[in-house]
Structure 1
Amino acid sequence: MATLTCAPTPLAEQPVTHLQDLRRQRMMRTVDTADHVITATWSAPQRISCIGLFGHNMRKSSAQWRVQLFSDSAWTTSVYDSGSIPMTVVKGFRALTWRVDAWRATIFSDRDSAFSVLWLDDSHAIQSLRITLSDTTNPDGYLEAYRLLAGLHWQPTHGPAFGASLQVDDPTELTQTAGGTLAAVSRGAPTRRLSLELRWMSRDADARRLIEMLSNQSKRKQMLLSLFPGAGSGEEIDYTILGRISDSPQIAIVHPQRARAKLTFTEG
């Protein structure tokens, strides 16, 4: 696990270490909207090709972040620098809701929270990273997030087959009153479940990598699944899940050079 620090220091009851806590209600929150720098170090080199910040409130088009990766633990030998880039994507002309959306509204403007993911073309061996958050006009008066991810990502040679299904599970319990009203007797946060099938995996590369990933992660650890990575659209938001694999997948050899797998991921 990485060692995290943040400058200036966040609220004492909502520290930067909450970004490593699997409980979503454990937020990191800053005391103001000044630029904040999050740093992380590892005791040994790690290979990184994906960095994501989840559940944050930096949804405006003016919000920027900068991701820097270093091969040493002292943040001196740089191997990657994203420069200052937007944290969210501005809605396209056709996606704007006229007389409702403000100019330069982003794809997260009408959402309670946002996520930002940086998918790198190549992996880097690093031992430290620095993330600079900049959103001085944030209307909340502070910056917050609940999860920081940094690791390797994998993309199969061929994408999922058509038929991938997204299910929204709402644990709210309903009861009908004597007057006929359908009332909620208990409430819970809805979660998404995404099921997909990989039908055209190569046995020597895709299937072996998937088996390795599932064996290392299994149900014990969180994973990030994105059906439309980097699309910058509402569809990417809907089909990106930070959660766990929720079944015991079977990988079938269906051809001398091909394998198939069915996977289900549950948010949380």
Structure 2
Amino acid sequence: MRIVPENLADQATLTCAPTPLAEQPVTHLQDLRRQRMMRTVNAAEHVVSATWGAPQRISCIGLFGHNMRKSNARWRVELFSDDAWTNSVYDSSVIPMTVVKGFRALTWRVDTWRATIFSDRGSAFSVLWLEESFAIQSLRITLSDTANPEGYLEAYRLLAGLHWQPSRGPAFSATLQVNDPTELTATAGGTLAAVSRGAPTRKLSMELRWMTRDADARRLVEMLTNQGKRKQMLVSLFPGANTGEEIDHNILGRISDSPQIAIIHPQRARAKLTFTEG
């Protein structure tokens, strides 16, 4: 399990070339509101760049709510130690943006060959986990999906941050819940009718039973104090697995409870955490 408690991309200066639509600029990637999308004028290759006024240490980059759902969509993430994109410290090379469905997950005569886990969903997200952190002052993300059927590229959130990973993963009681805010009412004929509709969101609950008190518990307290419910976090139960299960348990949202951290042993602590998408 990994958590990115702070989105450093919100503090960066963003640019995009070619320039996106004026009413849907690249700065929308820093807006918490999901309806505030960045959208390009066409499906040509676009480059999103970010710079910071001072070095930042990151180990995770993500793009959320994008429409690059097909297997031919690619991206390239480059990190630089200076603010002029010259001193490279990491290059992902050109890699797929989505995970292709396994053979057993394909629906016979319905899914196309190399269908992805997002092929039948309204939007997708892509997350790149780095095995080590880098001190950077600029980054560059190249997006390539020239065959996009919608004729443009869009996304609603860019994430860049330093992840935290407890020394031991959560217990096997972790649960994923899909919340649908749609309200139902029974008609006179006995039919259940939807009186209001909303986008479903996921909720991920887990228990960290064997945290170290001197490292894990202290870092968790610091994270909850600094971020709390006020700011978005990224949590992944299976980071880097490159499977549909990783995607299902990857949530960009907020901690939705006030967890209690219990000391259960002279060297151990325990906490229950719940994250809600959005």
TM-score range, shorter chain: over 0.9
**Residue in 2 that maps onto 1:219:** 229
User: How far has the Cα of 1:100 moved from its partner?
Assistant: 1.2
Q: 1:248 — aligned with what? A: 258
Q: How does 1:59-98 map to 2 (within 5 A)?
A: 59-98=69-108
Deviations 1:66-93 (A, max 9, x none): 1011111111111111111111121222
Any conservation in 1 of the 2:99–2:244 contact (CA below 8 Å)? no
Q: Separation in 2 of the partners of 1:111 and 1:172?
A: 18
Give the Cα separation in 1 of the matches to 2:105 and 2:180.
27
Q: 2:166 aligns with which of 149, 156, 171?
A: 156
* Equivalence map 1:165-244=2 (5 Å): 165-244=175-254
- The match for 2:5 is none
How many residues in Structure 1 have an aligned counterpart in Structure 2? 268
Q: Partners of 2:114 and 2:187 in 1: how far apart?
A: 46
SS in structure 2 at match of 1:230:
coil
Partner of 2:3: none
- Stretches of structure 2 that go unaligned for 5 or more consecutive residues are 1-10
Matched letter for residue 41 of structure 2: V
SS in 1 for 2:19: coil
Structure 2: which amino acid aligns with 1:227? L
2:33 pairs, out of 18, 23, 26, with 23
* Rounded Cα–Cα distance in structure 2 between residues aligned with 1:150 and 1:80: 14
Question: 2: CA distance between counterparts of 1:82 and 1:133?
Answer: 13
Cα displacement string for residues 123-152 of structure 1 (whole angstroms, at most 9, x for unaligned residues)? 111111000001111111000100000000
Unaligned residue ranges in structure 1 (runs of 5+): none
- Report Cα offsets for 1:177-219 as digits up to 9, x if no partner: 1111111111112212111100011112211221222222111
Q: Following the alignment from structure 1 to structure 2, what is the Cα–Cα distance between the partners of residues 226 and 183? A: 35
Q: Distance in 2 between matches of 1:43 and 1:85?
A: 29
- The offset of 1:226, in angstroms, is 1.0
Q: Could you tell me whether the CA contact under 8 Å between 2:234 and 2:253 is conserved in 1?
A: yes
Deviates more, 1:131-140 or 1:208-217: 208-217
Structure 1 CA distance, aligned partners of 2:203 and 2:99?
25
Residues 142-188 of structure 1 show CA distances to partners (whole Å, capped at 9, x for unaligned) of: 00100000000111121111111222222222111111111111111
CA-CA distance at 1:252 after TM superposition: 1.1
Tell me the secondary structure at the aligned position of residue 228 of structure 1: coil
Q: Percent identity?
A: 85
For normalisation by structure 1, the TM-score amounts to 0.97
Amino acid at match of 1:169: N
